[in-house]
Structure 1
């Protein structure tokens, strides 16, 4: 470890519980947060990794109706499936919770406190109302076109450009699930909002200070939003699915699920603390906790984390603010965006179940959509894993097999070479320069070098593979554990048995 030990509070956006995780989900915040958390612990820091089921999304309702099931049962089933998939993919998450009575009480108390302090204000909001579905057009209940980039989208946020919308700004808004040609009527509803424009100076100063730990696309989005008046963020809206507001005068309204997520993540973080670090005092989300908040999310959720959640934290005044917002771009399947609703996907559990977690994690690391979209094909996956992981490992095992059990000499220049690898991996794992893609690419390059030089320099191959196993453990934890066990079983200074390091071949 170098420098002063740091303490990180790591979150991955709670997944909507209207389906299991597909490969696009896994390639983004869940793998990224896992690699980051494992790497910090390896470097001697503390990391708590938390997430949980996002049960109150309106997409749970629309999916349940399409499938003909009860939304409560759907959410419960999907929570179980998602938890199982994370475990299968070797995602070492400290807490994956789902809403319960304690959670709902904490969320209500959070917003009641903001309301009592005068931080939330009443606004009259005009919603289209659909009599056929008995719903106000919001979130998944509304479809139309984004007023910013003009792409087809649902209500609240545009998945393409990340800009927020509402029933008034969504172009050609229609009621999702209603018959074609159905009509709506405008209705005025008094709701609670957080007036984001009041925090403009604080947003501007925050992003001035944090530019070094925000990804470029986040900063571009922030600049776009700050170039015009910031919208009011609805904290409540008229709907029946979600947590009732519980404040007088707002009957028939629930807390906006994206507002709910901030105190929800605080609840999840406490569960992670209890599991991973029970001696750490409660209140890890407090501003004076000493934890740095690092949040992993898909780019389409940027508005909520960069403005809505930060605005709520500023309004509260006592919460930790994000040190870094680590976004990923879309992961495509055969050239088109992964989509649960269109069934254009590969379920993560199917891919991991067939090929094993290390093979999948290795490929997703190499093709990670950190700064631009990436594309997945099963043929490309097999080619990459075979040529950049399995074949070099097999070449190493074949070249070193005649030396098994024999002592080898490690030259001084070998240690210098391996120090370069350690330094590059440390940079890839450090928050300010974090990159799953760089860490995986550097590891694949060292593996290729070792395989090419093993026959003539077994000392380099033996020393290099052990260092690789240690440094790549956050990426391919299963392979790293096998490598470590083989070296532990061998006489120190001799060549260990290196055949069949990966249990699943491709």
Structure 2
């Protein structure tokens, strides 16, 4: 086997955006940061690097409140139930996450201490903000409590961020804002003093940061950054008037909680420390510290780009002692039958159901093969079953059938194997390297190798034997269950053709 040890070991701190705990994960969710971060983390470990993978439930999103209201549940009960569902779905899909936490007292203490420190240092400043107030719901219109149209691209959206173009808004810029769940559109403007991070003050640092990191940022992120920097940067609200979230606890800002997207940065720090304590307790605490030696790699949907590329980075710059992202790896939307996945419209396929029906490896393979890395992609179950059958199951079955008569025999090394297998190995290493990471490339290269092995297996069983073993080693981050089974068969028959019967469908 080829030596996979790197010339220089690297340490990666990998995060996937904490999912909102207002329901389980659908296939669109799974195709995004959770699969990408898992494959990347597994690949770095196999390449000899250190990698920690952390995330957790985003319990304090206002969407938890609006969904709970629609379902007739208490928000805390919905969040707790959803956390259990999401954890089970991630496990079923083979997402080997080191920490998937839920907010506890230690989490809330860290969040409060983080912002109290920034406030004492004068990094957070008060601003008088005008919020529409809905007397019917008793809420200020913010986040999911407000609906309207994006002032940038004009699409229908909720408050704070536009899922379509990624640009931030506030309730004064949101066009035709209305109160979510209210029978009437009547609101009254109310002025509230909140704490903000003035992002414009960090313009030079943002500009220098992205000039340095262009090679590890996806093109859509860079385009968004350029758009944002082409105009004055907005103040980022750190607190706002609401009762769902972590209470600010800062004098003069009673009745306010931390903006959930601001909360997320210290929340991720807590999640990362939990991951360290669980997987690598020998590592020095403080993996998010600037001098920790870890490279921060963050996987997220494009619609969250503003928060990670400006809000979180701005908070880290204000703090001064935190690691900043080496890479921001975004994905675009994954559509279902030509339309956006939607829990509210019941236009979705639950990830747990697809995995239960077809197996984790098949789902992971297909979601990688057509991954929405740089542009939206579309999922249909028919295309899923056809692609898995023709590009994974049938060629693998053909290789196994061709090798069956040779089971237990020793086959000489194929003279023709070196070049194609080296090319496959090289493409997989490139697909899994941070600077060129691509799920699509990894899945496509694996499918192409299988097709080649299936075509040549009868005439060149030596190539098939070597190729299948190489595939099991290189594609393991992509299809861990299947590759582990192949490797175990080879281990049981050292130097001989292993028994490859019953390798496939329904066994992952």
Superposed pair shares fold, TM > 0.5: yes
Alpha-carbon distance, 1:412 to partner: 3.4
Listed one character per residue, the Cα deviations across residues 34-53 of structure 1 (whole Å, up to 9, x for unaligned) are 00000000000000000000
Aligned to 2:502: 500
Q: Secondary structure at the match of 1:8?
A: strand
Which residue in the other structure is 2:93 paired with?
89
The runs of at least 4 aligned residues of structure 1 exceeding 4 Å deviation read none
1:55 is the counterpart of 2:56: no
Q: 2:182 maps to what in 1?
A: 178
Q: Output the CA distance in 2 between the equivalents of 1:353 and 1:411.
A: 39
Match of 1:356 among 343, 356, 359: 359
CA distance, structure 2, for counterparts of residue 132 and residue 234 of structure 1 = 24
1:114-142 superposed Cα distances (whole Å, 9 cap, x missing partner): 00000000000000000000000000000
Q: Is the 8 A contact 1:355 1:505 kept in 2?
A: no
Cα shift readout 1:207-254 (whole Å, capped 9, x = no counterpart): 000000000000000000000000000000000000100000001100
Which of 125, 148, 152 is residue 148 of structure 1 equivalent to? 152
Question: Is it true that 1:280 corresponds to 2:276 in the alignment?
Answer: no
In structure 1, distance between residues paired with 2:280 and 2:408:
41
Shift of 1:402: 1.1
Question: Who is 1:163 aligned against?
Answer: 167
**Distance between the aligned counterparts of 1:293 and 1:424, measured in 2?**
24
SS in 1 for 2:416: helix
Unaligned 5+ runs, structure 1 = none
Give 3-state SS (helix, strand or coil) of 2:417's partner.
helix
SS at match of 1:412: coil
* Aligned equivalents of 1:502, 1:164: Cα separation in 2: 47
Query: Which residue, out of 4, 9, 12, partners 1:8?
Result: 12
Q: Does 1:385 align with 2:427?
A: no
Count of aligned pairs: 504
Aligned to 1:449: 452
Quote how far apart the aligned CAs of 1:340 are.
1.4
SS for the counterpart of 2:55 is: strand
SS at match of 2:128: strand
Show CA shifts across 1:361-388 (max 9, x none): 0110101100011100111110011111
Instruction: Provide structure 2 residue ranges, at least 5 long, that are not aligned to the other structure.
Output: none
Q: How large is the RMSD of aligned CA atoms in angstroms?
A: 0.9
- State the alpha-carbon separation in 2 of the partners of residues 58 and 501 from structure 1: 46
Structure 1: how far apart are the matches of 2:240 and 2:507? 51
Cross-structure match for 1:244: 247
Q: 2:117 aligns with which of 113, 116, 131?
A: 113
Asked if structure 1 preserves the Cα contact closer than 8 Å seen for 2:393 and 2:505, the reply is no
1:445 match: secondary structure:
helix
Query: Superposed, which structure 2 residues align to 1:41-80 within 5 Å?
Result: 41-80=45-84
Q: TM-score, normalised by structure 1?
A: 0.99
Aligned residue for 2:114, secondary structure, equals: helix
CA contact (8 A) 1:390 1:505 kept: no
In structure 2, what is the equivalent of residue 324 of structure 1?
327
Alignment-derived partner of residue 189 in structure 1: 192
1:182-207 deviation per Cα after TM superposition (whole angstroms, max 9, x unaligned): 30000000000000000000000000
